[in-house]
Homo-oligomer: A and B are copies of this chain.
Amino acid sequence: MNVYIIVDIGGTQIRVGIYPEEGLEPLRLEKIATQGEGKPLDRLIKLVAQTFPSEHTVRSMVVAAPGAIDPHRGIMVSAPNIPGFVNLPLRKVLVDQFNVPVSINNDANMAAMGEWCFGAGQGHHNLIYMTISTGIGGGVIIDDRLLVGERSLATEMGHITVLPDGPRCGCGQRGHLESISSGTGIANYFAEQVALGVPSVLSSAPNPSTREIAEAAKEGDALSIQAIRRGATFLGVAIADYLHLFNPSIVILGGGVTKSGPLFWDTLKENLAKHLCSQEYLAGFDIKPAALGDEVGLLGALGLARMQYHTNHLILS
């Protein structure tokens, strides 16, 4: 039987799945905490070795990994939360160890692939995927190809400037989308307003999360409503920018912040429409929540593995 080895490296856990030529059910799926006894790289290799399908023919191994990835050279340039994963030639390490073709890819790009191949974006040719969570990441499909850019640094959707001299972003710059519309951005704004004395039912809670703020907003808490609305407003402006630049037929939003209810989605859509130079961008256009859950990166890497095997169409490495 022909199979693919699919690896998803996260800050919390590493997963390895063995998938057949068709369908989404893995023949085997194992996971392990990313950090524990031994180095993360050794833990990864051990898990792949334990899961390795010796009884089958392995077509390829495709890895989804966090941080800055260079798929052309097969290198993990940096992964902020995983010790030892700096300028790591992971493709070479895995090829040497397991003697199968290996491809290393950014996890946000793989999530975009997952939604495109098997989720909310099926059948589309021009698609934007964003995850609005602690940070903001994303991937873009143009004419059925993943956009990676000259040095694999493209589609950093969270780092466009939406508010000059706005809040400090995790990257150090000011006013980037991520500094305002991510979960962190919304929670920071809320905490600032509480510190300024703005009343809220949550003001006695220590550092409420965006989820708690969204719940309080549903109950009518004015500051919580304002905080969610502010994040969604700037996200709408940013998505209008993306429509002007990429003219996609669908935008798919995943991540915890997108579960903040109608206040979030309605504000977002209203501001998206309000900033377009032409309503033509909305003809035949859809904006939707992500359809896949936690497995989106694994499934995207699976989709890519099959596509790389069957065509040369998607240039990735």
Contacts and interface: CB of A to CB of B under 8 A. Distances in A.
Interface of A: 68, 125-126, 140, 142-143, 145, 147-157, 159-164, 169, 171-173, 176, 237, 240-249, 274-278, 280-281, 283-285, 315
A121 to B, nearest CB: 12
Given A241-B160, A315-B143, A149 B248 contact: yes
B247 A153 contact: yes
Given A142-B142, A171-B277, 16 more contacts: A68-B278, A142-B149, A147-B246, A150-B249, A151-B249, A153-B281, A154-B244, A155-B245, A159-B277, A160-B240, A160-B241, A161-B162, A161-B237, A161-B241, A161-B275, A164-B237
A249 B156 CA distance: 16
Nearest to A172: B277
A284 B162 contact: no
A164 B162 contact: yes
Given A160-B241, A162-B164, A244-B160, A150 B125 contact: yes
A87 to B, nearest CB: 12
Q: Indicate how many identical chains form the complex.
A: 2
A59 B298 CA distance: 47
Contact of A151 (B140, B283, B315): B283
A163 B234 CA distance: 11
Chain A to chain B: the 5 pairs with minimum beta-carbon distance, closest first = A149-B247, A171-B277, A154-B247, A160-B241, A159-B277
Given A164-B162, A169-B277, A151 B284 contact: yes
Given A162-B164, A163-B164, A277-B171, A248 B150 contact: yes
A244 B159 contact: yes
A156 B126 CA distance: 16
A173 B247 contact: no
Given A160-B241, A237-B161, A152 B247 contact: yes
A277 B60 CA distance: 33
A290 B249 CA distance: 32
A236 to B, nearest CB: 10
A172 B276 CA distance: 9
B280 A245 contact: no
B277 A173 contact: yes
A285 B147 CA distance: 18
Contacts of A152: 247
